Amino acid sequence: MTTNLTTNPTAREIAQQLKFRACLAHAVLFKARGKVKDQIRARGDKIAHYSAREITELANQYLAQPGHREILTQLVLPSVHERVFKTKR
């Protein structure tokens, strides 16, 4: 999507941008939860011993560490962009 900087964005473009940001944030958190689950398994613990809330808290801690959010964002960016800005037939 290209936005002309000399004009105001349309309502559709704004909606797409908001959807893109929300989807990107969700995808990054989902990927971080997967990384946390991998770490739990590597320690020999069972995922079932953790609540969804605990896993999400651990994922947020993981994302707070330097560089992790940027790496995961770059990892999921192409798929999120494809899903949000796909052309309808």
Q: What is the pLDDT of residues 11-70, one digit of tens each?
A: 988 998 999 999 999 999 999 999 999 999 999 999 999 999 999 999 999 999 999 999
Contacts of 40 (CB under 8 A, 6+ apart): 46, 47, 50, 55
Number of domains in the chain: 1
d(CA 89, CA 82): 14
- Is the predicted pLDDT of residue 3 greater than 90, yes or no? no
Beta carbons of 75 and 31 less than 8 angstroms apart? yes
In this structure, is residue 69 part of a structural domain? yes
In this structure, is residue 66 part of a structural domain? yes
What range defines the domain where residue 38 resides? 11-84
In this structure, is residue 89 part of a structural domain? no
pTM of the model: 0.82
In this structure, is residue 70 part of a structural domain? yes
